């Protein structure tokens, strides 16, 4: 009788080793000068950049949520990793920090090297866009923990900022300008509602070409989250930036107030930016009302920047120069309202 092996129990060490070898060149493509060791050791090593008077480390962690379900159903895994990096690196960058390195956790019931490599290729692309190094990660094969063909992802990003340059919103005053930077679509939030509205209630198939979107539903739903680290850095260099808000779950009402000091709010003009058609499609097919739409999705804006009115044109120019779509969407107001009510909306969505 043959001896029982780890592979018999569902864990393939050889597949794990093969994936590490596939990952190594991807990680090297994200390397920064501060990295001191390649992927493969017990821990990642990185020194701080030179020239900082009082360096402060900034950390963030997140996952991708049920957007993974779309990747599984469409059998497309090479972009979901960018979503993972974006959800972490964007948060870190809002503090004025430069993302330094990223770590990932990939857990699955049965490791498929090609799928794992596709996921990590997206992570590496996200790291290149964010300017951070893919410093390491963990791949866990856990038989019985996940459904066949499924996996879970978690990400961890660390950045650095000089303490004097931290963006904390404390200097925000009534009359400051509010700039919105366009999203690439749903990003990585609200997919439980989006899937129910479009797939269940709307009866759409992932491979169906949707006229309103100009592409298949799968292509739309798997559009990667935009990474704003370089946009935020460009805006800061232009001067006058007081705060940045990454618009994720909770929408504008749930995220903008996180950077506002007491006694302030924002008035946003819905007519100043254009929504992507996917939001209207969700509202129509899912019978989702406007308030629920705004509280769940980014409704077209992935980043909000608050800056001094005298610098707003310079900030807009800096953003547009690097390829972002940005516009003045409102201003800071006086407000003693509760948290979400500190964001008020004017005009009509376009």
pLDDT at 19: 87
Question: What is the fold, at CATH topology level, of the domain defined by 177-346?
Answer: Phosphoribosyl-aminoimidazole Synthetase; Chain A, domain 2 (3.90.650)
- List residues bridging with 56 in a β-sheet: 161
Judge: domain 13-165, CATH 2.30.110.10: no
Confidence class of residue 69 from pLDDT cuts 50, 70 and 90? Answer: very high
Confidence class of residue 27 from pLDDT cuts 50, 70 and 90? Answer: confident
pLDDT at 37: 83
Residue found by looking up tokens 């029982």 in the block: 4
SS3 128: helix
pLDDT at 271: 95
Q: How far is residue 62's CA from residue 71's CA, in Å, rounded to a whole number? A: 18
Q: How far is residue 173's CA from residue 307's CA, in Å, rounded to a whole number? A: 10
Tens digit of pLDDT for each residue in 108-140?
Answer: 999 999 999 999 999 999 999 999 999 999 999
The region that residue 294 occupies, defined by phi over 0 for left and psi between -120 and 50 for alpha, beta otherwise, is alpha
Asked if pLDDT for residue 105 goes beyond 80, the answer is yes
Contact between 229 and 131 under an 8 Å Cβ cutoff? The reply is yes
SS3 243: strand
**Cα within 13 Å of Cα(186), Cβ side:** 30
pLDDT at 41: 78
Q: Average pLDDT over the chain, rounded to whole?
A: 95
b/e per residue 12-40 (b: at least 16 CB within 10 A): beebeeebbebbeebbeebebebbeeebe
Asked if pLDDT for residue 289 goes beyond 70, the answer is yes
The domains of the chain are located at 13-165, 177-346
Give the residue-averaged pLDDT of 229-248.
Answer: 98
Q: How many Cβ atoms sit within 10 Å of the Cβ of residue 240?
A: 18
SS3 231: helix
pLDDT at 306: 98
Higher pLDDT, 13 or 314: 314
Contact between 98 and 246 under an 8 Å Cβ cutoff? The reply is no
Q: Residue 54 corresponds to which tokens in the numbers above?
A: 């009082």
Contact between 61 and 88 under an 8 Å Cβ cutoff? The reply is yes
Residue found by looking up tokens 């800061």 in the block: 236
H/E element, 103: strand 98-108
Asked if pLDDT for residue 72 goes beyond 70, the answer is yes
Residue found by looking up tokens 């864990």 in the block: 11
SS3 6: coil
pLDDT at 1: 67
Q: How far is residue 60's CA from residue 99's CA, in Å, rounded to a whole number? A: 10
Percent of the chain whose pLDDT exceeds 70: 100
Give the residue-averaged pLDDT of 94-108.
Answer: 97
pLDDT at 349: 83
pLDDT at 320: 96
Pairing status of strand 177-182 against strand 326-334: antiparallel
SS3 83: helix
């Amino acid at each position: 009788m043959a001896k029982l092996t780890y592979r018999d129990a569902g864990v393939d060490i050889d597949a794990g080793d093969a994936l590490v070898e596939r990952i190594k060149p991807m990680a090297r493509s994200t390397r920064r000068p501060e990295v001191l060791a390649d992927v493969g050791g017990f821990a990642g090593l990185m020194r701080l950049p030179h020239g900082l008077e009082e360096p402060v480390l900034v950390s963030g962690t997140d996952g991708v949520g049920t957007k993974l379900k779309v990747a599984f159903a469409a059998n497309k895994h090479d972009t979901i990793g960018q979503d993972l990096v974006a959800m972490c690196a964007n948060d870190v960058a809002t503090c004025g920090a430069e993302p330094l390195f990223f770590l990932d956790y990939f857990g699955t019931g049965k490791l498929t090297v090609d799928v794992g490599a596709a996921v990590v290729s997206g992570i590496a692309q996200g790291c290149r866009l964010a300017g951070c190094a893919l410093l390491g990660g963990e791949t866990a094969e856990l038989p019985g923990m996940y459904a066949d063909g499924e996996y879970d992802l978690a990400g961890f990003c660390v950045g650095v900022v000089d303490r004097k340059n931290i963006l904390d919103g404390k200097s925000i005053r009534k009359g400051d300008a509010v700039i919105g930077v366009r999203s690439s679509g749903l990003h990585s939030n609200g997919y439980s509602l989006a899937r129910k509205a479009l797939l269940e209630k709307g009866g759409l198939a992932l491979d169906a070409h949707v006229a309103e979107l100009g592409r298949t539903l799968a292509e739309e739903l798997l559009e990667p989250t935009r990474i704003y680290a370089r946009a935020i850095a460009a805006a800061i260099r232009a001067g006058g930036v007081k705060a940045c808000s990454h618009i994720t779950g909770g929408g504008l009402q749930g995220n903008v107030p996180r950077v506002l000091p007491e006694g302030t709010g924002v008035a946003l003009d819905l007519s100043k930016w254009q929504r992507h058609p996917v939001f209207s499609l969700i509202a129509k097919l899912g019978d989702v009302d406007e308030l629920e739409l705004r509280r769940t999705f980014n409704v077209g804006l992935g980043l909000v920047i608050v800056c001094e009115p005298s610098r707003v044109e310079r900030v807009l120019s800096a953003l547009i120069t690097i390829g972002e779509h940005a516009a003045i969407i409102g201003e800071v107001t006086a407000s003693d309202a509760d948290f979400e009510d500190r964001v008020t909306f004017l005009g009509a969505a376009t």
